[in-house]
Each structure stands twice: as structure tokens, then as C-alpha cells.
Structure 1
Amino acid sequence: MARVKVGLGRRLVTPEGVALDLRLASAGTRAGAFIVDALLMLGILLGVTLALLAFHASFGGSLGNVMIVLWLLGFFLLRNFYFILGESGGRAATLGKRVMKLRVVARDGGRLTGGAIVARNLMREIEVFLPLTFLAVAGSRGMADQWVAALGLSWTALFLFFPLFNRDRLRAGDLIAGTWVIETGRRRIGADLMRGATEHRIEFGPHELAIYGQYELQRLEEVLRRGEASAMAAVADTIRAKLNRYDVPGDEVFLDAYYRALRRHLERRLLFGVRKRDKFDTA
């Protein structure tokens, strides 16, 4: 796996010879996404709190300790599983990241695994919420715990500014999980490629189109957009070997035809609610 670093731009060359051009999210953009997510979670927490207070009042105020336990448990689940569930979806992004046009990807260019998503988000408990808990407890107990407050504040500052001191803008969670947060545009996949492409009468069977999914379609689109002969040759060789199709001359002609056929195939499946994320998805 080769990597080229220029500013926030990154190019990964996979073992299959596919070059992926990415742009890392800036620290400010990531902070903006977190603020959006935090405000949303705050709204959800407020709604849950009001519901618990109403439930508590309906029992005459006799469930005080139970309500506190339920609230703490709900807050823990919210602040952890909100991020995990959001990034486990097809867009690999929470609502805040979608608003800021960001997504999470694996740094090795492979598939983003559930283990990586869980690891990077559980680390947020140590990075943010644990020191904030120290601060809250120290504040409620007065000046006697000012050292605890100072420790919590220093801990928070350390992890808060951590992305500013590494070239890849990584959180501690990203470092452990092997992930990047990248910028991504909101455009229809290959719409202009489909309009501008020359029609090639090359047929592909259902079994040939069932091999790859949306992830590979996007990577193929990037290769066609760049038009680099070496990259197209490497990708064409990989796909030909997978399909056992050596009857179509010309790498660009072959890739263009396979791209359009695969895109139509995936779009038809989406009409019936069937989504194939990548070549590993067997759902």
C-alpha cells in the first residue's frame, strides 16, 4: 500500500493498483460536525429527561433513585451508540458528518469494519466524556476538588488539540482504529460519466455484475475520471481476471462498459430495496 501526502490531500494505491484520491477533513470541519451531533444529542437527552420527569411525577415522586439510574444509563447509551450506529450505515457518517459532507474510511483503503467503528467511538468516552465527568463532579463539590478539576481540564485539552499536532488530523480514536475522516461531495455517482460516455455494445451477465458493489463502483468511477492509462490497465486486468472476460479489446472501452452496466444493475436492485455495499456484502 503506497501513500502520497500533500497538505490534506492523500492518494492511496491499493495492492490491486487502484489509486484513490482523498482529502482529509480539517480540524475545524470535524469540530463543526461534532457540534451538530452534540446539539442533536442534547435535544434527545432533553426530551428523554422530560419524559422521565413526567413518568416520575405520575408515580407521586416515589421513583427518584430509579429515575437517576435510568437517566445515567440512557445518557451512556446515547453518547456511545449514537456515533456507532450512525457510522455503521452505508454513508459511514453521523448526521453532523453528513451536514459537513464528511465520512469515515479505513486508512488502508479497505472495508470499514464494525470493530474499527466501535473502537474509534468508545475512545471518545475516554477523550471527552470521562474528563468532563471529572469537571462536573469537582464543580459540584467545591474548591476542595480543584486538583481533580485541573486534571480533567488538562485531559480534555490534550485530546481536544490532538488532531492539530499530527498531519492526518487524527483523533486518538482514529489512531487506534486505523481510520480517517475525509471530505466527500454530494453528487450522483457518475451522472456526467453516464451522459458523456460513448455507447459500447458489450453485455455482462448477472453473475458478472453481482461480484462488485457500490464501493467498487465509486472507485471505478474515480479511475475513469482521472483517465490515467496505468491505473486503468491495472484495474482492467483485475476485473478481467475476476470475470474471465478477455474478449473485449481496450482497457478504457472495457471499463467504461462495465461501469455503466454495473451502475444500472445496482440502481435496479435499489428500486427493490436491495443494497450491495461492496464485494464483501452478501446480504
Structure 2
Amino acid sequence: MSAAVSLRGLTNRPKQERYLVTPEGIEIPIMLASKGSRLGALILDFLFFFLVIYAVVYLVIFVAGGAADTFASDSIEGASGALEFLTILFILFLFFMRYGYFMAMELGPRSATWGKRIVGIRVAARDGGRLTPEAVIARNLLRDIELFMPLVFIMLAPGGEWGSYGVAGAVWFAIFMFFPFFNKDNLRAGDIIAGTWVVEAPRTKLAETMSTSGAAASSGSSTVTGAKYEFGEAELSVYGEHELQVLERLLREDKDEALGPVHETICRKIGWDPGAGDERAFLEAFYAQLRAKLEGDMRFGKRKANKHA
């Protein structure tokens, strides 16, 4: 499909709704995360961040005390070397926590840190493609400029007084913290550089079956044509959990205008003749059988997050 299939004119859409254009050229509606949910996720992440750091600090102090007692009877050099080694490990730990936590979590299957998962949001690429390592690295490196560096300016103000040094840090901090208020997509500077945005990620459990009629309810038989749709392993393997959730959302919305382009795209992907007039029955059967396959794979410890996995 050379041009994107637009669903924008179907109904009146919420203000925060946007559209991801998939590589197949279909527009999928998504909801932008609110500023409040993004702030809540950041606070939760930093709470988790500092709790882990404090726990490690106490662990290092405990180990360091034991090392000092062990080497005290042998040599001062031995104790000093052990403490230096622990210091190096602690510095490396801080580095990986500062950068690795956010990057590793957002590069995972859910594209979200623990804070984002709790409030129900995730990171997505604005071009509709996969969230690439380059984008995740870029948006998280910008966090240094947006957050960490101005905070350091404020905390290290000479003599503990703000003066021009602290004021500069506060202004710097405020500019980036209020950045999402100056654009309609709630983007922070890191999102603009990386080509990402943060969207709502409804807590949809794979085990909760969608209630449908027609093909899904009758094991693939169409109530319109009587045809029975059955898909093989290779045909069902082209999609994963993400595509299943997108298909479920489209079926729930019950917009016939949106089903045609999706039906045509899936048929082309699996090598079927798309035909016409029986789109819902086909999609319900594909949904039911894809869901059964993914649930069966999960019982054996195999998960397919999306079509790229």
C-alpha cells in the first residue's frame, strides 16, 4: 500500500489522540500520555532509583567494614586496596544505574521503565516503526541536560547560597521541566531529538478473551458467507502480542471503515487473496487463532512481543 489509510475522519476524536502510521501504511489511533502521568512515572522511577542506591550504599559500607577488619591485622596497604576496589565498583554501579536503568527498560519488550509501567504509559517511535536503540540512547542522554546538570548547578551553589549560580541552574531546570507545556504533543526535549513520544499503554492481559460474535465465536466460520477460515503456523507466526492487541482494539471499536484496510494488509502479509465483503469474519477468525497460538506458546515459555521478534 503506497499511501497511508486514514481513519481520522471516522468519529470525533479526543484531543490527546494521535495516529501511528505502521510500516504497512495503516494509521493506528493512540492516546498521548498526560503531563501528570509522565511526571508521576518520573517520580516513581527516581524513588526506585534512590532506594536501590541507598540499599547498595549500606551494603558497600557493610562490606567495606568487613574488609577493613580483615586486612587490619595484615597490612594497611591491603585494606586500602580492598576499599579502593569497592569504591570503583560503587562508581561503576552509579554509572550503570544513571544510564543503564532507563535505557535497558525502554529497550525491553514493554518500552517502559517501572514507573511508566505502574502509571500505564510507554515510549513509542513517532514514525510508527520499532523503538530503536539510537532513539532510546538519544532521549536518555538528553536527560542529563534537562535534569541532572541543572540540579547539580543548584546543589553545588557556592556556600550553599543560590546567588547567580543557583538562579542560573533553577532557570535552566524550569525551562526543560515546562517544555512539554509548549507543544501540543507533551514532548520533552529528549523526545524531539529522538523522534519519540510517550503514549498510554492500557493494561491488557493476554489471558482476557475478547467477547466477539461471528467467526471468532464459531471457530472460524463466517456468518456471512459460511466460509471457514483456518490459518497455518507460518501464517500466524508473522504477528505477535502487539499486533494482536491492535487488532483487538480495532474489533472492539466496531468501525467497518477501519476493518477493510487492516484485512487487506493481513491478507497481503500472509499471501491470501483479500477478496471483499467478509472482512470482520476473517479478522475475528485470525484474531481468535492468533490468540490461541500465542497463549499456547506462552505455556512453553515462548513469547513473541511483536512481528519483529
Number of the residue aligned with 2:239: 212
Q: TM-score under structure 2 normalisation?
A: 0.81
Matched, 1:105 2:124: yes
Match of 1:35 in 2: 43
1:193 alignment partner, SS class: coil
Q: Gaps (5+ residues) in structure 2?
A: 69-78, 221-227
The answer (yes or no) to whether the contact 2:268–2:274 under 8 Å persists in 1 is no
Q: 2: distance between equivalents of 1:142 and 1:248?
A: 73
Q: Which of the residues 164, 183, 186 maps onto 2:203?
A: 186
Match of 1:19 in 2: 27
Once the two structures are TM-superposed, the CA of residue 245 in structure 1 deviates from its matched residue by 2.0
Q: In 1, distance between residues paired with 2:180 and 2:150?
A: 18
Amino acid at match of 2:178: F
Equivalence for 1:258: 286
Q: Report the counterpart of residue 10 of structure 1 in structure 2.
A: 18
Q: Report the Cα distance in structure 2 between the residues aligned to 1:227 and 1:115, rounded to whole angstroms.
A: 37
Q: 2:190 aligns with which of 164, 170, 173?
A: 173
Residue type at the aligned position of 1:107: R
Taking the aligned partners of 1:244 and 1:70, their CA distance within structure 2 comes to 54
What residue is the counterpart of 2:225 in the other structure? Answer: none
Whether 2:71 is the aligned partner of 1:58: answer no
Quickly say closer, same or farther: Cα 1:277–1:263, change in 2 above 3 A. same
Q: Indicate how the Cα distance of structure 1 residues 14 and 85 shifts in structure 2: closer, same or farther if over 3 A, else same.
A: closer
Which runs of 5 or more residues in structure 1 are unaligned? none
Displacement, 1:149?
2.1
Q: Percent identity?
A: 41
- Taking a change above 3 Å as real, the CA distance of residues 3 and 138 of structure 1, as seen in their structure-2 partners, is farther
Q: What code does the residue aligned with 1:122 have?
A: L
**CA radius of gyration, larger in:** 2
2:231–2:289 contact (8 Å) kept in structure 1: yes
Offset at residue 70 of structure 1 (A): 4.2
Residues 13-65 of structure 1 show CA distances to partners (whole Å, capped at 9, x for unaligned) of: 44635332211111111111111111111110001111222233234374666
Q: Do 1:56 and 1:62's aligned partners in 2 also have CA atoms closer than 8 Å? A: no
| RCO comparison, higher one (Cα < 8 Å, 6+) | 1
In 1: Cα distance, 2:19 partner to 2:177 partner: 27
1:131 deviates by: 1.6
Q: Which residue of 1 aligns with 2:55?
A: 47
Q: Counterparts of 1:173 and 1:216 in 2: how far apart (Å)?
A: 27
- Are 1:136 and 2:155 matched, yes or no? yes
**1:233 corresponds to:** 260
Pairing partner for 1:86 from 82, 105, 113: 105
Query: Is 1:122 aligned to 2:130, yes or no?
Result: no
Residues matched between the structures, number = 279
Report the Cα offset of residue 208 of structure 1: 0.7
Structure-2 change in CA distance of 1:3 and 1:48 (3 Å): farther
CA distance in 2, matches of 1:103, 1:37: 13
CA RMSD of aligned residues (A): 2.6
Q: Deviations over 1:49-105 (max 9, x none)?
A: 112222332343746666555444322221211111221222211111111111111
Residue number among 261, 269, 272 corresponding to 2:300 in the alignment? 272
2:203 aligns to what SS in structure 1? coil
| 8 Å Cα contact 1:132/1:156 also seen in 2 | yes
Query: 1:54 is matched by which residue type in structure 2?
Result: F
The answer to whether the 8 A contact 2:23-2:129 is kept is no
2-side partners of 1:173 and 1:96: how far apart? 18
Distance 1:7 1:186 in 2: 21
Change in 2 beyond 3 A, CA 1:164/1:44: same
Give the letter aligned to residue 254 of structure 1. F
Q: CA deviation at 1:137?
A: 2.3
Mapped to 1, the partners of 2:294 and 2:145 lie a distance apart of: 40
* TM-score normalised by the chain length of structure 1: 0.88
Contact preservation (8 Å) 1:135, 1:149: yes
